A and B are shown apart, each in its own frame.
Chain A
Amino acid sequence: MPSLRSIRSRIRSVKNTRQITKAMEMVASAKMRKAQQRVLDTRPYAEKIYELMHRIASREKAWSSPFFETRPVQTIGVLLVSTDRGLCGAINANLFRSLVRFMKERPGVRFEFVTIGRKGRDFIRRSGFNLTGVIQGVKDRGTIEEILPATQLVIEEFSEKKNWQEAWIFYTQFESIMSQKPRHEKLLPIDPEVLTGSGNPPNGHSGEYLYEPDRRDILDVLIPRYFETVIFQRVLENFASEYSARMVAMKNATANAKEVIYGLTLTYNKLRQANITKEISEISSGAEAISQG
């Protein structure tokens, strides 16, 4: 039987925890609202440029450019977007699980990783995978400039050093407050199959574009923008997912704490009453013994 004092101190400590989780829930929900708005604002551009690049790829099949060319795959570069902090449910764990599954499906391929977010970096280190680059200090209210190092690294490894034959991005997509899905997408080479495969046929248009000025100039503008916006948008998705997952996790934690407090208070009161009853019966039986004696 625990003592009254130990129960009291446990109640106090659970109450403190509840206060913290409650505060974290509110912080996360405020940040989530902003992050969600940014995700919705940036999604159309990212989607449109993603489609545009793939449409160009499907129309220009005969055309050789390192960004459109499929090479035999020896090394895949993975840009892993995860959160900096924990206490946000299972979103990182789910993402890493999907990554491991992806790797198992491609035996014999070498993987190199670039991470955005500390949890991903720790995971790659812990698993002993090849860590090529770490991008730090990306903030939820940040701008595209903050992910430029990631963009440059991907382009460098893929098209300049030719170390990577494919580049993928792994992140957690924000669907709603209750649901975030781990996702991966092929960034490079730009593969026309992606569009036709996703039930989005190139809607009967055929033939090449007229380019003005020439397509080299247009691609010089488009390709960096494609990377920047797509990667940046995925990072924003990840932030929105992080905050909603944290909000939900903290909400559950607060509810659990409440339950625990209720149970403990009940035991505490029962114990207190039992003690009082015991004392009274001791006193009264003592008094009786005296009066009879």
Chain B
Amino acid sequence: MGFILSLVTQERHLLTEEVDYIQAKGVEGEFGVLKGHAPFLTLLDVGEFLVRKEESLYSYFVAGGVVEVLQDRVTVLADTIERADEIDGRRAEEARQNAIEALKQPVSSQSRLQYEQVLKREGVRLGILARRRSMRHPGPIREE
């Protein structure tokens, strides 16, 4: 028996389903949630979001937003969510290269910050893809 997980962004509703375990990256570090967790609110960092259901592991890319954990329910209100199979590896790689190039030039501290964020996001995206390919996350990725 698990709990109900809802994944939504402002633009779409990805899923509402019963799952056994989730693991996410909050701004103060990674955390995992099982059924019966104490009520808990946290902000999401850029990172991989893992969902386990019946021994299968599903992977999502999540950036920014809020997670609300209740005893029998977890709601993720994210700014960006992508299923692992939706990640466009080539686009991520390009964006990362662009950011690396841009950082080689002298840039203002504000745009430096922006480029570093791009670097982080795309790094995480590529990491998810790489892990998926190396089968360290062998579960089938959810097709809706």
Contact = CB atoms under 8 A, between A and B. Distances in A.
Which one of B10, B28, B42 has the highest number of Cβ atoms from chain A below 10 Å of its Cβ? B10
Interface string B21-59: 000001110000000001111110000000000000000
Nearest to B39: A209
By size class, the interface of chain A is: 20 to 34
Interface stretch (A146-154, A210-218, A269-277): A210-218
B12 interface: yes
A148 to B, nearest CB: 13
Interface stretch (B63-71, B84-92, B110-118, B134-142): B63-71
Given A45-B8, A52-B68, A221-B66, A209 B41 contact: yes
B11 A218 contact: no
Interface residues of B, number: 23
A41 B12 CA distance: 5
A48 B10 contact: no
A107 to B, nearest CB: 39
Interface string A190-221: 00000000000000010111111101011001
B80 interface: no
Which one of A56, A212, A229 has the highest number of Cβ atoms from chain B below 10 Å of its Cβ? A212
Contacts of A45: 8-11, 13, 77
Interface in B69-111: 70-71, 75, 77
A142 interface: no
B38 to A, nearest CB: 6
Given A41-B12, A218-B66, A48 B43 contact: no
Contacts of A210: 38-41
5 contacts: A41-B11, A41-B13, A48-B8, A211-B41, A212-B42
Q: Which 5 A-B residue pairings sit nearest by Cβ, starting from the closest?
A: A44-B13, A212-B42, A45-B8, A210-B40, A209-B41
Interface of B: 6, 8-13, 16, 26-28, 38-43, 66, 68, 70-71, 75, 77
Interface of A: 41-45, 48-49, 52, 55-56, 59, 144, 205, 207-213, 215, 217-218, 221-222, 225, 229, 232
Given A41-B13, A212-B27, 19 more contacts: A42-B11, A44-B16, A45-B10, A48-B6, A52-B66, A144-B10, A205-B70, A209-B40, A209-B41, A210-B38, A210-B41, A211-B42, A213-B27, A213-B28, A217-B43, A218-B66, A221-B43, A221-B66, A222-B66
